[in-house]
């Protein structure tokens, strides 16, 4: 699957679970580890975990490789690394604190 297709696949799956404030960052020119970062918010720890777990489950069903998942225990920020796409699912307060969109200062894709 091409990186743009994978990005859209991830967006579709997080929208299925009503993720909030979805932002896609094209970071291929700033990073050699991924092409896109998808950042979204969940309304609670349970919601954050459910969004990330849905993406993991749907990727497995589609036969896609998952490089790693971090942050499931606290579920304040769960990262799902799919290689060409990295998904960050965060609670609002964590997202406001780290400001990934500002940090990467990339234009929304």
**pLDDT reported for residue 1:** 77
Helix (H) or strand (E) holding 42: strand 36-42
d(CA 55, CA 74): 18
Whole-structure pTM value? 0.93
Question: Phi, psi at residue 86, to the nearest 5°?
Answer: -115, 125
Going from the N-terminus, what domains does the chain have, and what CATH number goes with each? 3-98 (3.30.460.10)
Triad 98, 103, 106: Cα angle to 5°: 135
Mean pLDDT for the stretch of residues 47-68: 97
CA torsion, points 30, 25, 43, 76, in degrees to nearest 10? -10
Per-residue pLDDT of 34-51, as tens digits, reads 999 999 999 999 999 999
**pLDDT reported for residue 109:** 55
**pLDDT reported for residue 106:** 46
Mean pLDDT for the stretch of residues 58-87: 96
């Amino acid at each position: 699957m091409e990186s743009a297709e994978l990005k859209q696949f991830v967006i579709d799956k997080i929208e299925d679970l009503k993720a909030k404030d979805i932002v896609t960052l094209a970071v291929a020119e700033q990073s050699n580890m991924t092409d896109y970062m998808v950042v979204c918010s969940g309304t609670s720890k349970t919601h954050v975990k459910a969004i990330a777990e849905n993406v993991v489950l749907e990727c497995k069903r589609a036969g896609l490789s998952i490089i790693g998942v971090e942050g499931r225990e606290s579920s304040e920020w769960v990262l799902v690394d799919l290689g060409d796409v990295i998904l960050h699912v965060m609670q609002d307060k964590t997202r406001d604190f780290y400001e990934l969109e500002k940090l990467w200062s990339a234009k929304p894709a």
